[in-house]
A and B are shown apart, each in its own frame.
Chain A
Amino acid sequence: MKGDGVTTQDNTRRSFQPVNGARDWWQHAPMWQRYLVYIALIVFALILPAPWIGSFMSPASDWTSVLIFPIGTYILLAIGLNIVVGLAGMLDLGFVAFFAIGAYTVAIFGTKFGWNVWPTILVGIVLAAVSGVILGAPTLRLRGDYLAIVTLGFGEIVRITAQNTDAIGGARGITNIPHPSPVFGMEFLLDPAPYYYLILVAIVLVIVFSVRLQKSRVGRAWAAIREDEDAAELMGVPTFKFKLLAFAIGAMIGGFAGGIYASKAVFIAPDNFPFILSATILAAVVLGGAGNLPGVILGAFLVAWIPERLRSVEWLKHLLGDKDPAEFRILLFGAVLVLMMALRPEGILPSRQRKAELREGTGGMGSLGAEVAGPDTEAAAEVAK
């Protein structure tokens, strides 16, 4: 997706590695060229809902709706989860909890108290961040596998609590969530287009946040923690604080996505927030290349789009005869995922640093970071030697 237009000319000249060629070009490109690429990407995103694109991208369902959910929503979630998994190197298996908290906040404040959607999205973001801190404060001392299990539990707790709390609709969920009020003359009603632009603005905003963080002291601290947490702490990085920060920021983005989702969906129920969604977003991050934003966005796009596209593949229809290919799409999707990870275990577009870390088996996802734990593990003994 991103950067496709710029690679072709370059790779013939310098090398036959289009990805690296594009990266080198990008690193040395002057500002005006970068802005041209940004503008081109935004123009591309603006014309993306056009019916002629939709006719081959998703012949079976409304393309603009598919762009909002799952594609746009998954991209937002993946960018959020990337901060936790890709940048700070912590494995989070319950990311859907923050998505649910954002969505439920908008739903509850909108239906029970009649609030306008815009402020409730903000409230949702704040509540997601708070819950991220509440979850993180006691658990971020854990590393690797242990953290993964606790976050997995948290995701389930949030969903089951929603299911068993009648005040927020229980298993039936919440209906009649109000739409957002008009902005710049754009009415948010049944036409999906305005929601597409809304989610586009959200994605651009979150990308800018994410890049700025990554390039700052905060991003450096995360990278240092991912590489060697003990050394980072001894170089003056308050590791706990920065891990908590990553968790809270990831949660905020998850909550943001949830708020937008609820305001479009009109109806939400606990079933919209299953564990499999956490796993799918994690798959998107890993598949695309954890830590590298274009890769993560591409991963989220593929993970969202492939199952939709498989609903209506002509040759599949012939192959399956009277059976509907839609019934087999998840099976096929799984095969595609396995194939992709077998061919490119470091992800489709990995960041150079993450690629090297994974090869070494360090850095969060690779080793799950578990071997640098308390004072009596092997790695700590190495410091102590």
Chain B
Amino acid sequence: MTPLLEFDNITMRFGGVTALREVNVSINEGEIFALIGPNGAGKTTVFNVVTGVYQPTEGQVRFDGDRIDGMKRFQVTKRGIARTFQNIRLFHNMSAIENVMVGADAHHKTGAIGAVLGLPWHRKEEKRGRERARELLDFVGIGKVEHETAKNLSYGDQRRLEIARALATDPKLLLLDEPAAGMNPAEKNALQALIRKIRDDGRTVLLIEHDMGLVMHISDRLAVLDFGQKIAEGLPQEVQTNQKVIEAYLGVSEDAS
């Protein structure tokens, strides 16, 4: 089976800094794949390369059989990849449902003329987008705050809203950048259930997360980055016992070096 997302020898340099060095990762359809590593290891850089924010210095990114490196960001989204952000980047002054509708609009076609003339298909799209946005708000569990301004939502709800907005673009692959950051244990449990639900809906999830409990619990496979290099990949229990990973997280003991 060809993987859904394939990183083929990706190197990403910023001037003299090498953020990613010859990274190879393949993510299969329908799995929850976690990307872990110490701070500054290059995890978010991976997200930025996948979503077209950066063009890799070397290597190729393939998604669903096509090369996507070099595509514009909105085209990557239309192709079926959506993401959330480490520091929440909602449209703060828009209502929750409007935020989600912006995502749903990614596949809508009406332009200015349709909108100005109030053409029937424009109205239909608008109605469908609103319904879909409501469904998604319910799906992530914040249906009640539909008309609330995004910035007035609680932190956890804002994270959920970001997920709903990303899901509205109907992605095959959903990238979650530290979705559990700042959540309490109860919220984390609910988030775990939500991520599973998203996967069971037929989407693939790529996850960056620092909470090891959560990562080990829900991910099918994971990869570990350290200083821009992949140092391990595999099932959670394999990675947990990997010597290199332990060293990256805890440091190397003196006699080992």
Contact = CB atoms under 8 A, between A and B. Distances in A.
Interface of A: 209, 212-213, 215-221, 223-224, 227-228, 230-239, 245, 249, 352-353, 356-357, 360, 362-363, 375, 382-385
B126 A235 contact: no
A224 B102 CA distance: 7
Chain B interface main SS type: helix
B158 to A, nearest CB: 13
Contacts of B86: 385
Contacts of B151: 356
Given A235-B82, A235-B165, A385-B86, A223 B98 contact: yes
B1 interface: no
Contacts of B110: 216-218
Given A213-B115, A230-B89, A235 B169 contact: yes
Interface residues of B, number: 46
Given A216-B126, A231-B85, A384 B44 contact: yes
Nearest to B166: A235
Looking at B74, B86, B126, the one whose CB has the most chain A CB atoms below 10 A away is: B74
Interface stretch (B45-53, B186-194, B196-204): B45-53
B108 A356 contact: no
30 contacts: A217-B115, A218-B112, A220-B94, A220-B101, A221-B102, A221-B105, A223-B98, A228-B89, A230-B89, A234-B74, A234-B83, A235-B74, A235-B82, A235-B169, A236-B82, A236-B105, A236-B107, A237-B74, A237-B102, A237-B106, A239-B74, A245-B111, A245-B112, A249-B112, A353-B93, A356-B151, A357-B93, A362-B92, A384-B45, A385-B87
A228 B116 CA distance: 25
A227 B92 contact: yes
B149 interface: yes
Interface in B168-207: 169
A238 B111 CA distance: 12
A235 B106 contact: yes
Interface string B55-82: 0000000000000000011100110001
A235 B151 CA distance: 18
Contacts of A360: 92-93
A369 to B, nearest CB: 14
Interface of B: 44-45, 48, 51, 53-54, 72-74, 77-78, 82-83, 85-87, 89-94, 98, 101-103, 105-108, 110-112, 114-116, 118, 122, 125-126, 129, 149, 151, 165-166, 169
A217 B77 CA distance: 17
Given A235-B166, A352-B93, A356-B151, 8 more contacts: A213-B112, A217-B115, A218-B115, A221-B102, A231-B85, A235-B102, A236-B105, A356-B93
Contacts of A215: 115
Contacts of A375: 53-54
A175 B91 CA distance: 51
B74 A213 contact: no
Given A217-B105, A383-B53, A236 B48 contact: no
Contacts of A219: 115
Contacts of B126: 216-217
B115 A383 contact: no
Contact of A212 (B54, B89, B105, B118): B118
B94 A353 contact: yes
A212 B123 CA distance: 11
A215 B44 CA distance: 35
A356 B92 CA distance: 9
A223 B73 contact: no
Contacts of A232: 91, 102
A237 B108 CA distance: 10
